Structure 1
Amino acid sequence: MASLPIFISAVANSTDEPHFPLLFTWSTHDGQIKEVLITPDDEWLHDHSIEPNLQNLDEQQLYEFGYEAQDILAEWATELDTDTMYAIDPETVEILIENLYDTKGLDPAFEVLPIEHWFDERDVDLHAARQENGDETPLSLLSPDEQIMSLLQVAANHDLLDLSELAQDEPL
């Protein structure tokens, strides 16, 4: 079986003019959901501020609980063996990923495509499938972890993911 796709979501410093990430949430190839706060790079805060956001993330929380760019990039390099990630808002997520990599003078090793692309390739209308499940709230209004959970659930409901194989990997 092919590994699961990587779905990714992010919270930016601003909804109007996103310049740097505050939080990334992504699925892994084994169906887990990971979420990490990002410690802001000094240069980011020199030019831009952190505006109020739906997750109520502020600068103090990021410094207290966040991870440096190099730690996140190291984790992605070892765990995310992919050249494509899928996002609800690919343009914004791509900007945030590029800015994270840019702190270390690197370029991302993957591209970010619209989530609809992955579902369309599998003949599933994502929005119709969510409505069939009773999910009326637009994905963009859900928290990042709820977005990822919703996407994985739709994929599983349409037999695009075989989650039973993942359970077999656990020790008895």
Structure 2
Amino acid sequence: MSTPRFLDIEYCQTEDALFPIAMAWSLEDGQMKTVVIAPVDEWLPEDGDLGDIDLDYLAEQGVPLIELVHELHQDLPDQTVYVDGLDPDEILIDLIFTAMEQEAPFEIAPITDLITGMDSDALEDRRRQLLFEESLEPQLPENGVYALLLMAQEHGLFEED
């Protein structure tokens, strides 16, 4: 059994737009990568209304999609990557790879496919409890991945060295 991989995406959602703005994912050794994502023009609504999203920050600090796609191809090839199942993660991944005219190199599955001894409500309660216990902001993708890593560890899903 190999170490499970996890992914979480922070995103912007308005009436006219849905696109990723930050992403975190875990690596085989349990380490994490986090990026802010520079949006592509076709994701942005014509009226420019993005609520409280700072487009200048994303443009200045964000990683271009070509770099993000390259990193994901390097880090997660032929993997099943687990998500909390609460967000439109598959849609967001499709947006990223479609913009680069590529297929995602990994499959997305909900955490309920990995941790099968608990129902989705119990898993979500445990995830929220871990975020609270660790004093982590739930909207940050790296914190979402960290909570999923902790849950996998609690369920003995990591290889022992």
Bucket of the pairwise TM-score, normalised by the shorter protein: 0.7 to 0.9
Partner residue in 1 for 2:150: 153
TM-score normalized by the length of structure 2: 0.79
- Percent of aligned positions that are identical: 28
Unaligned runs of 5+ in 2: none
Partner residue in 2 for 1:70: 66
Specify the code of the residue in structure 2 equivalent to 1:95. I
Residues 19-168 of structure 1 mapped to structure 2, 5 A cutoff: 19-47=18-46, 49-52=49-52, 57-89=53-85, 92-120=88-116, 123=117, 128=122, 131=126, 135=130, 141-162=138-159, 165=161
RMSD, matched Cα: 3.0
Instruction: Supply the distance in 2 between the matched residues of 1:10 and 1:161 (Cα, whole angstroms).
Output: 23
Specify the code of the residue in structure 1 equivalent to 2:155. H
Distance 1:31 1:17, change over 3 A: farther
**Structure 1 residue 94: Cα displacement:** 0.8
**Structure 1 residue 65: Cα displacement:** 1.0
More strand by share: 2
Unaligned runs of 5+ in 1: 166-172
1:20 and 1:44 in contact (8 A); partners too = yes
SS in 1 for 2:60: helix
TM-score normalized by the length of structure 1: 0.75
Instruction: Number of aligned residue pairs: give it.
Output: 156
